[in-house]
C-alpha cells in the first residue's frame, strides 16, 4: 500500500497492533465526542487565499524557546511508544532530529528526581501536563482491562518508588494513576518547579482565557492548548476552537502552541492563522511508528511539511509571519461587509 496521507497510517496500525494497544492509542474519553470534534472542527475553518504573489521561495523555519527548527510541526508527549514498536521513543526522537524539529517530553509527577534526570540527559524544556488530576474514563481501556504488556516497564520511573502497574478488574492504567497522581497539584506547584530547575516550563492542557492568564502569572514559558487528545473530559471544545481565546488572553507574553487533531498540513496553516506559534502531533506518530517504525515517523513529518508548504504557496504566504487571521474564515466570524448594490 502506498501511503499518501497521515490518516492512512491509522488503519495500518489497527491491523498490526494487539487490540488492547490499538484501543489505548486510538480511543478517547466516554462518548468520544471531543475525539471526533478535535478533527471535525478543522473542516469548518475555510481559507481565504491571496493570489498573484511570488511564492518561488518559502521559509518555514521558526524558533521555539530559543531553538531554531525547520518547521512549526513538532512531536507531542506520547507515552509508552514501545507498545507500538520495539524502538519506541528512540525511533521517534531520531525521526524528529532528522526532520530538524523537536520532540517534547513530559513530567506528570513533578518530582525533583525526574527533573534532575532530565537536566542530566540534556533536555532543554519540560512540558508539564496539568489536566490529569484524575484519569479520564476511557471505556475501551476498561473493557480491555488495559495493563502494560509483560515485556515493557515504565523505564523512566526505574529506581523511583512509583510502584508498578498491575492487572485490575477495570483499567490497570487507571488504577495505577489513581495511586500516583497528586490531586492537590495547583499553580503554586508550577512556581515550586521553577525553584528546582532552570529549564523553561511549558504548561500543557490549557483551553481557557482564565487559565492562560494564571499560567502567565505563574511564570510559564509557553502554553500548549490541549485537551489531552480528548482522553480526559469529554465535551470540551476541540483545541482548534479554543486556540484563539487562549492566544488573545496570552497577549503575546508567551508563545501558544496547539496539540490535537492535526492530520494535514493545511491544519497547521489554520492553527498558525489563529495565532499558534506551532503545533504538536501525537497519534499520527504512534500509528506511523507501529506501521513502519522510524521510517514511518519520518514520512509523517515529511508529508505534513510538504502539505503545509503547499498550503502556504496556494494561500500566497512566503513565510510564517505572512500567515494572518485574514487568510481564514471561521463559523464565529462576523459577516463580512459587502458593497451595497447599485440601483
**What cell does 160 get?**
523511583
- Out of 228, 270, 305, 327, pick the active-site residue: 228
Q: What is the separation of C-alpha 16 from the centre of its chain, rounded to a whole number of angstroms?
A: 24
Q: CA 35, CA 237: separation in Å to the nearest integer?
A: 10
User: Any catalytic annotation for residue 85?
Assistant: no
Residues annotated as catalytic are 228
Amino acid at each position: 500500500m502506498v501511503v499518501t496521507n497521515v490518516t492512512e497510517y491509522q488503519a495500518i496500525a489497527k491491523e498490526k497492533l494487539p487490540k488492547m494497544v490499538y484501543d489505548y492509542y486510538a480511543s478517547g474519553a466516554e462518548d468520544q465526542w471531543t475525539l471526533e470534534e478535535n478533527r471535525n472542527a478543522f473542516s469548518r475553518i475555510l481559507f481565504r487565499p491571496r493570489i498573484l504573489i511570488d511564492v518561488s521561495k518559502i521559509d518555514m523555519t521558526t524558533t521555539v524557546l530559543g531553538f531554531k527548527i525547520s518547521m512549526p510541526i513538532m512531536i507531542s508527549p506520547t507515552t509508552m511508544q514501545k507498545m507500538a514498536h520495539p524502538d519506541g521513543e528512540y525511533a521517534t526522537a531520531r525521526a524528529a532530529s532528522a526532520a530538524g524539529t523537536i520532540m517534547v517530553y513530559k513530567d506528570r509527577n513533578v518530582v525533583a528526581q525526574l527533573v534532575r534526570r532530565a537536566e542530566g540527559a540534556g533536555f532543554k524544556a519540560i512540558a508539564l501536563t496539568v489536566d490529569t488530576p484524575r484519569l479520564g474514563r476511557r471505556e475501551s481501556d476498561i473493557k480491555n482491562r488495559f495493563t502494560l504488556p509483560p515485556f515493557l516497564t515504565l523505564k523512566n520511573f526505574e529506581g523511583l518508588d512509583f510502584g508498578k502497574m498491575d492487572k485490575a478488574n477495570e483499567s490497570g492504567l487507571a488504577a495505577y494513576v489513581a495511586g500516583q497522581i497528586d490531586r492537590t497539584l495547583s499553580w503554586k506547584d508550577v512556581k515550586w518547579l521553577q525553584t528546582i530547575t532552570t529549564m523553561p516550563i511549558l504548561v500543557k492542557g490549557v483551553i481557557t482565557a482564565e487559565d492562560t492568564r494564571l499560567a502567565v502569572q505563574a511564570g510559564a514559558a509557553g502554553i500548549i492548548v490541549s485537551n489531552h487528545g480528548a482522553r480526559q473530559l469529554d465535551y470540551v471544545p476541540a483545541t482548534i476552537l479554543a486556540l484563539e481565546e487562549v492566544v488573545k488572553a496570552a497577549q503575546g507574553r508567551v508563545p501558544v502552541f496547539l496539540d490535537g487533531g492535526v492530520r494535514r498540513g493545511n491544519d497547521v496553516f489554520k492553527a498558525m492563522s489563529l495565532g499558534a506559534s506551532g503545533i504538536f502531533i501525537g497519534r499520527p506518530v504512534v500509528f506511523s511508528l507501529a506501521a513502519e517504525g522510524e521510517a514511518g515517523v519520518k514520512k509523517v513529518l515529511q508529508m505534513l511539511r510538504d502539505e503545509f508548504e503547499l498550503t502556504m504557496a496556494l494561500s500566497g504566504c512566503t513565510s510564517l509571519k505572512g500567515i494572518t487571521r485574514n487568510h481564514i474564515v471561521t463559523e464565529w466570524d462576523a459577516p463580512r461587509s459587502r458593497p451595497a448594490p447599485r440601483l
